[in-house]
Amino acid sequence: MGVDGPFHDTVLRCPVCGASFSRRGNSLVCTGPKSHCYDMARSGYVHFAQRRPGGDSPEAVRARTVFLEAGYYERAAEELVKIVSSFRPSGTLLDAGCGEGYYTNRFARTGRYRVFGTDLSKPAVDHAARAAKREENGAFYFVSSLFGMPVADRSCDVVTSVFAQCAEGEFCRVLKDDGILVVAGAGEDHLLGLRQALYDTVSKSGEREDRPRAMRCLADGKIRYEITVRQEHIPSLFHMTPYYWKTSLRDAEKLQGLKELKTAVEFDYAVYGKGSF
Ligand SMILES: C[S@@+](CC[C@H](N)C(=O)[O-])C[C@H]1O[C@@H](n2cnc3c(N)ncnc32)[C@H](O)[C@@H]1O
Ligand SMILES: [Zn+2]
């Protein structure tokens, strides 16, 4: 689906005055009295963030791209699409904290959703938008904080949050009353093999603190399988995890001698309805 369609009217909102948009050439111009104008980048995304740039750095984005494009999480992505489809087979889907659009573009490829992806990292969104343009899958990307998205109230059927922060209040605001939120993140055994290679003692990861509290959990489960990471992808995998920032140089060096890395991939997922939120 192209960006020309009427859906800008129904989904995107001017972050300054809250008015809807119309498209003028390569810009989105709000219909409010001040006609706030946002240019579309060459790759097709729009930069809405008001404050200084944030989110993942170009290096982190590159590392994640290398690893994801090698296909290790393909099975998990397929499963996620199946899970979402079983609850909402079509509709408007917003991927909040979409990174390079690995999962977002998956949803767009099905041809059954009007897909929007947002992230605070400009290089990540640029990468996502380029891929969408190349594939002509119709996904529309924009840079914004997921804690204040330029998205209309009650405009989305599905919000997905994959390995990203969960902004329950904001997600509920943009979801239709019968909309669903699908959250996926690291399970207890996620990348256990990597942690065992790095550390002498491996502790279990604790429960995430930003889990939705007021929404109604409709289903939850695990996507779990084993992968063997080839030597050339081990540094990228390490770089895209939180361990990259927490590991001593001495421990990090342990990865250098590995020919391959066998590890579990374990995504915990949960599907939420708005309930009485
Ligand atoms: C671990 S990555 C996950 C990206 C993608 N969902 C994936 O799984 O490949 C987390 C993402 O959240 C983004 N992020 C961090 N803080 C954010 C915020 N306040 N608003 C929007 N995105 C944010 C980062 O830029 C990064 O792309
Ligand atoms: Zn405006």
CATH number at residue 51: 3.40.50.150
Cα 252 off chain centre by: 27
Return the residue whose CA atom lies nearest to atom 9 of ligand 1.
99
Is the pLDDT at 131 greater than 50, yes or no? yes
How does residue 107 score in pLDDT terms, banded at 50, 70 and 90?
very high
How does residue 69 score in pLDDT terms, banded at 50, 70 and 90?
very high
Tell me whether residue 36 is in a domain.
Answer: no
Residue range(s) defining the domain that contains residue 71: 43-273
The finding on whether 125 has its CB within 6 A of some atom of ligand 1 is no
Alpha helices in the chain (DSSP H): 7-10, 58-69, 74-87, 102-109, 122-135, 168-174, 192-198, 234-239, 243-246, 249-252
Tell me whether residue 18 is in a domain.
Answer: no
Tell me whether residue 17 is in a domain.
Answer: no
Across residues 153-177, what is the average pLDDT?
A: 97
Q: What backbone torsions phi and psi does residue 155 show, to the nearest 5 degrees?
A: -110, -10
Across residues 130-134, what is the average pLDDT?
A: 96
Distance between Cα 47 and ligand 2 center (Å): 14
Distance between Cα 16 and ligand 2 center (Å): 5
Tell me whether residue 2 is in a domain.
Answer: no
Distance between Cα 52 and ligand 2 center (Å): 19
Helix (H) or strand (E) holding 22: strand 21-24
Q: What's the pLDDT score for residue 216?
A: 95
The finding on whether 156 has its CB within 6 A of some atom of ligand 1 is no
The finding on whether 49 has its CB within 6 A of some atom of ligand 1 is no
Across residues 113-139, what is the average pLDDT?
A: 96
Tell me whether residue 13 is in a domain.
Answer: no
Tell me whether residue 4 is in a domain.
Answer: no
